[in-house]
Amino acid sequence: MSHLFAPLTVKSVTLRNRIGVSPMCQYSAEDGLANDWHLVHLGARALGGAGLVIVEATAVAPEGRISPEDLGIWSDRQVEPLARITRFLRQHGAVAGIQIAHAGRKASARRPWDGEGQWPIGDRGWATVAPTAEAFGPGLERVPQALDEAGIARLQADFVAAARRSQAAGFQWLELHFAHGYLAHQFLSPLVNRRTDRYGGSFENRIRFPLETAQAVRAIWPQEFPLTVRLSCTDWVEGGWDIAQAVEFSRRLKAIGIDLIDCSSGGAIPGVKIPLVPGYQVPLATQIRREAGIATAAVGLITEPGHADAIVREGQADLVLIARESLRDPHWPRKAALALGQKDALSGPVQYGRAW
Ligand SMILES: Cc1cc2nc3c(=O)[nH]c(=O)nc-3n(C[C@H](O)[C@H](O)[C@H](O)COP(=O)(O)O)c2cc1C
């Protein structure tokens, strides 16, 4: 039976356990370049025992950054600083993953500790693009430019180029960020996408941008490496994107060779009430796993080792991603191994031997 410390093989890649560090923006880059902060932050979590460490939302184009301090992968210059990180992660037993992203209408924002809202255009900020010329709402009030077909094709080419650079940087696990109200999710949600062309309206039309993007990336991303998608599986709003659509979209993604769906939720619509209880998104991962027949990752308020272990043992998801708890404690995986009586599952760095 699978459990939290059973290895997971996806394509040619084997994770030493079912614990992944969820992508988390650090808002600490200049010109999109990874630096010592990213190396130490991510490296610490590999030392802590995670099987997979996913680098934060990394922008495929400068105007796709959430904030001016986001990581980027739109230039060859950005490859080597990331390669320094993948080498370290691999040396310490973690598979190196990266999430590539475009924020669409939610771009050009201040990072959390620089206050609220978007930077003015020309003063650290920039004009944004989206499926439809409608702002997100309070806090992010810039009206984006609606993409034309040429713009859509350019962005898809940006995702493909970013995937090639991810490979060049040594990543073996690639995640497409289609969640949290960013660009791809803006196409998916009927409450955001008001287009009347072939990229809007019906379900088939709304999934077209992300599905084509995933297909184009799959065509160049090595077949032996996992290609995964983070979805918001529901908008938590009547009439919005929902789990039934997410299940059907996951089936389509599976059919074009996507290996795993990372099941998150929300982010497209402001002011939505989300039922924040431990594991609140796990049922979404379970339903997609069962009904679309694809591997899933569960994320969101999973902090207890026994809970994480049960998610895997009971087949609710194949992989558990930890975000904030991993910020509190980079050594969460090793502590979880001890708590679950699996001490031998994780041999730590020899330098730390006397601590465990
Ligand atoms: C500081 C911070 C940055 C985040 N950045 C990203 C990101 O870059 N991409 C993403 O998909 N989710 C991001 N998230 C969401 C997390 O990956 C995760 O889905 C969410 O925090 C719920 O998991 P948790 O309860 O374990 O924190 C971020 C969360 C935090 C706390």
Task: Write down the domain spans for the chain.
Answer: 8-348
Q: Which residue CA neighbors atom 18 of ligand 1 most closely? A: 323
Instruction: Provide the whole-model pTM.
Output: 0.98
pLDDT of 231 = 99
Q: Which of 167, 190, 163, 313 is nearest to 244 (CA)?
A: 190
Contact residues for 59 (Cβ-Cβ < 8 A; gap 6+): 32, 65, 66, 70, 71, 72, 73, 74, 100, 101, 102, 103
From first CA to last CA, the distance across the chain in angstroms is: 27
Atom of ligand 1 nearest to the CA of 56: 8
pLDDT of 347 = 77
Catalytically active residues, by annotation: 182
CA of 95 to the centre of ligand 1 (A): 19
Q: Is 345 within 8 Å of 5 (Cβ atoms)?
A: yes
CA 345 to chain CA mean position, Å: 27
Share of the chain above pLDDT 90, in %: 97
Fold of the domain built from segment(s) 8-348: TIM Barrel (3.20.20)
At position 214, the amino acid (one-letter code) is: A
Ligand 1 within 6 A of CB of 230: yes
Q: Is 160 within 8 Å of 154 (Cβ atoms)?
A: no
CA of 29 to the centre of ligand 1 (A): 17
CA of 291 to the centre of ligand 1 (A): 26
DSSP SS3 for 57: strand
CA of 23 to the centre of ligand 1 (A): 6
Token pair 């859509």 in the structure block, residue: 152
Q: What is the mean pLDDT of each run of 10 residues along the chain (356 residues)?
A: 94 98 98 98 98 99 98 98 98 98 98 97 97 96 98 98 99 98 98 98 98 98 98 98 98 98 98 96 98 98 98 98 98 96 88 89
Ligand 1 within 6 A of CB of 97: no
For a substitution probing ligand 1, which of 19, 21, 25 has the most ligand atoms within 8 Å of its CB? 25
Cβ density class 76-98: b for 16+ within 10 Å, e for less: eebbebbbbbbebbbebbbbbbb
Q: Which residue CA neighbors atom 2 of ligand 1 most closely? A: 24
Distance between CA atoms of residues 329 and 352, nearest Å:
15
